[in-house]
Amino acid sequence: MNKRKSFSINKNLTAGLTQTVASVKAHAFELRYEVIPISQIELDPENPREISLSFCDFPQGPSKDDPLYAKKILEIDSLESLKNSIQKEGVLNAVIVYKHQDKYRLVAGERRCLASLLSDKKDIYARILDKKPEQLRKGFLQWIENSERTDLSLWERIRNIRKIIDGYLSEVNEKAKVNGAFLSDLLGCSSQTASNYFAVLNAADPIKKAIQDGKVNNLDKAALVAKIPSENIQDKALIACVNGEPIKGLKALVASLEKQKETLSREKQNPSKSGVGRKASRVSLGYTNKPIVVKTIVNVFTQHKKYEHFKDHFGKYDMTDYSGASKAFGLLVELLESE
| Alpha-carbon span 89 to 84, nearest angstrom | 9
Least confident span in 118-122, 286-290, 319-323: 286-290
Confidence of residue 40 (pLDDT cuts 50, 70, 90): very high
Confidence of residue 135 (pLDDT cuts 50, 70, 90): low
Model confidence at 27: pLDDT above 60: no
Highest mean pLDDT among 13-27, 93-107, 266-280, 309-323: 93-107
| Structure confidence at residue 14 (pLDDT) | 44
Model confidence at 299: pLDDT above 60: yes
Q: Report pLDDT digits (tens) over 218-266.
A: 999 999 999 999 999 999 999 999 999 999 999 999 998 888 888 887 8
Of 169, 157, 162, 198, residue with least CA distance to 181: 198
Average pLDDT value for the chain: 78
Q: Report pLDDT digits (tens) over 67-116.
A: 999 988 988 888 888 888 888 888 888 888 888 888 998 887 888 899 99
Largest CA distance in the chain: 85
Q: How far is CA 242 from CA 78, 154, 213, 269, in A?
A: 20, 14, 11, 34
In whole angstroms, how large is the CA radius of gyration of the chain? 27
Q: Say how far residue 61 (Cα) sits from the centre of its chain.
A: 29
Strands 103-108 and 95-100: antiparallel
| Alpha-carbon span 100 to 42, nearest angstrom | 9
Q: Report pLDDT digits (tens) over 141-192.
A: 666 555 555 556 888 888 878 877 877 777 667 777 888 888 887 777 788 9
Give the residue-averaged pLDDT of 128-132.
79
Confidence of residue 321 (pLDDT cuts 50, 70, 90): confident
Instruction: Write down how long the chain is.
Output: 339
According to DSSP, residue 282 is labeled: S
| Alpha-carbon span 72 to 76, nearest angstrom | 6
Q: Let me know: does 193 contact 235? Beta carbons within 8 Å.
A: no
| Structure confidence at residue 226 (pLDDT) | 94
Strand partners, 135: none
Model confidence at 128: pLDDT above 70: yes
- Backbone φ, ψ for residue 5 (5° rounding): -75, 130
Top pLDDT among 306 and 138 is at 306
Specify the pTM: 0.51
